[in-house]
Structure 1
Amino acid sequence: MTSTPSPEPSPSSFTSLGEEKAFDRWRRSAAWITGVGLSPEDQTARGREKALAAEESQWRRCEKWKADLLRNSPAVTFMLQHLRYSGCAVTPAHIQCHPCGIRDSSTTKLSPVAGGFSPDHGIMMCQDGFVNKKHMEHTMVHELVHMYDHAKFNVDWSDIRHHACSEIRAANLSGDCTWWREVQRGFFTFSKQHQACVRRRAVLSVRNNPACPDAAAAERAVNEVWESCFKDTRPFDEIY
């Protein structure tokens, strides 16, 4: 008994099947990109994937800018030199890029905080906190001034007057309080803008010190050390 062979699929069947699979792949890809038509589970997975990709991109940008500033920024290299003179040789490992979750990347407004200094851990750069490389440069110099003060003057960070003095110096010397930086923060004035910026930022920073009981104490500490610390531009000859 002979069996009847199955009919061969026509070329048009292959084309239809291929087109269907291609369309399916396109549809899934489009859904993943746009978020339309995804299940709640897929939406969550897509959100995590996008957040991780954004974080990776921010970290790479931060590390690239950091390397360039450590080599080429006059203010940064000047601070590094004087830190070496003070017995504190800073390496790239002492300056770390990390996400801080403090700024929406869709806005050009400066975040309140873009970095920090810890005597135990070095300098942290908020990779998601920078508008541009100049903003990062000012932040790096600000934190290097804190590091310099710690190495040179043995600052007691639990003493809010010590902290206030270093914050005044860092805001004054880093470029944090240029006119254009203040405009980006939403402050616009022509009269004593620099001094007002330095004072405001110092008070805000001291207020966040766990040893500071309230805003009034932070303001008092800044006022008490203002005259001597604002005039102290070391290691710079003048305000940067």
Structure 2
Amino acid sequence: MKILVPVKRVVDYNVKIRVKPDGSGVELANIKMSMNPFDEIAVEEALRLKEAGKASEVVAVSIGPAKTDETIRTALAMGADRGIWVKTDEAGIEPLTVAKLLKKVVEAEGPTLVILGKQAIDDDCNQTGQMLSALLGWPQATFASKVVLGDTGVEVTREIDGGLQTLRLDLPAVLTTDLRLNEPRYASLPNIMKAKKKPIDEKSPADLGVDLAPRLEILSTSEPAGRTAGIKVGSAAELVDHLKKAGVL
């Protein structure tokens, strides 16, 4: 069984985001980048399934411009077998376009399972996994907190409002991972060195027959307004009065 894991290069979660002066987007120049944390969870789950004898190969795929291969190398250092890099001129490809590119990769690779992070921390769209499932016509389970893989199907416990839901899906299938699914491993130095020798197959959107023309236009990007200072009240009656003025009571 082959497992395909899409991974995305994003601004590191420890970095404070800065908006460009012209409001055209987020500043990416000279900023530390890393693998999307939810994608790390997806890679870890795929590796655990392989180590349990449920899968024979884990393939990491990423879409993006120069240095995107660094993110693929991170997945390879964690233990993925090989990588696929769909090279683009720009970052920030729209989720539907990403899903179309991944569909072509899935058709070429023939995996039994595709595991994605539930969302990327840069745009928080939470769309790619669902769109890929629809394009492929495969069953999907999102926000997975537990995955049990069988010979013909996969049982997924997913987090929903107010509790947990367990689904059984026929294979092939698409899964998206939630935070509580696992704790991603750190890549050891020997594995980092080995990752440099693992193959990364480079493709272009033209090779896959997908048009990257955007369908959405970003009008402006701005930082959120800062929080205003609170006030101190002298009595419970004064507090109630302020709450009534604020429309809380």
TM-score in same-fold range (> 0.5): no
Higher RCO (Cα < 8 Å, 6 or more apart): 2
TM-score range, shorter chain: under 0.3
Report which of the two has the higher share of strand. Answer: 2
Report which of the two has the higher share of helix. Answer: 1
TM-score by length of 1: 0.22
TM-score by length of 2: 0.21
